[in-house]
Amino acid sequence: MTQHPEEVTAVAGDPMAMLTPFTSARIGLGRAGTSLPSAPHLAFQAAHAMARDAVHARLDMARLAADLERGGLATVQARSAASDRGTYLQRPDLGRRLDPEAREVLEALASNTEPPDVAIVVADGLSATAVQRHAAPLLELVVAGLTRVRLRTGPAVLVAQGRVAVGDEIGECLGARLVLLLVGERPGLSSPDSLGVYLTYAPRVGRTDAERNCISNIRQGGLDYATAAFKLDYLITQSLSRGLSGVGLKDETEGAVLMDRQTEDRRIVG
């Protein structure tokens, strides 16, 4: 039987489309013949382009420092041993270590200041976009919580071309009891600006991922700042009081009551 052109090109719906309001996953897209319809195909290409842009974007260190300092947090700028973005992407090991000159700066800082309870590190990671958007507002809440329980933080160390483990070396240099590292996560096709936070007790070079706690997907449409800060407050105080982090320290804030300090509304976490 001969098909008419309009029958070949007509877009067929998908019964899964009813679920699309509840997820950012690509479901219920329909089809045009054996292919995707034009609209979801173009949307996929746009999302892929945004993810690639996030990986290659350069962190505006001066702007981030200004944003943090407006919130009352002093900063120090540093860089990893990866000299540029191309090297960073091809040599993950260099992104985990400090540039020798940056290490000297931090050692000089440590010799003139009291060791912090919590060393704060902000690294661009694989999404400078995430760090630029979310680091300052999240840290404003986190530092306020640390101040209430009288924990010293010192200046935040901003690291260009940095990966998670660079925080271990920075924490070791500063003599910190614990390091809190914010980093841009690997972009996904629905979240090019997802921020992750890693917490490591007694930081030193050679720590493994099993010795860290992680809170991820901090972004609009993901985990909100207030909930992330609440969880971090809990993990930090528990880590310092129990002398550990990683697989031995669990997030037990599920079902806890979170007070919104601005609206005085209460809500359940988790």
Average pLDDT, stretch 32-39? 83
Domains of the chain plus CATH, in order, are: 55-268 (3.40.50.11240)
Euclidean distance between the first and the last CA atom of the chain, given in angstroms as a whole number:
56
Q: Where is average pLDDT lowest: 39-48, 203-212, 217-226?
A: 39-48
pLDDT at 1: 47
Q: Is the predicted pLDDT of residue 250 greater than 90, yes or no? A: yes
Q: How far apart are CA 254 and CA 184, in angstroms?
A: 25
Q: Is the predicted pLDDT of residue 259 greater than 70, yes or no? A: no
Q: Is the predicted pLDDT of residue 240 greater than 60, yes or no? A: yes
Among all chains, which residue has been given the structure tokens 């207030």?
A: 226
* Among the listed residues 125, 115, 113, 112, the one whose alpha carbon sits nearest the alpha carbon of residue 80: 125
126-179 pLDDT, tens digit per residue, is: 999 999 999 999 999 999 999 999 999 999 999 999 999 999 999 999 999 999
Q: Is the predicted pLDDT of residue 119 greater than 60, yes or no? A: yes
Q: How large a percentage of the chain has pLDDT more than 70?
A: 90
Three-state DSSP at 119 gives strand
Are residues 94 and 85 in contact, defined by beta-carbon separation less than 8 angstroms? no
72-81 pLDDT, tens digit per residue, is: 999 999 999 9
The model carries a pTM of 0.84
Q: How far apart are CA 267 and CA 270, in angstroms?
A: 9
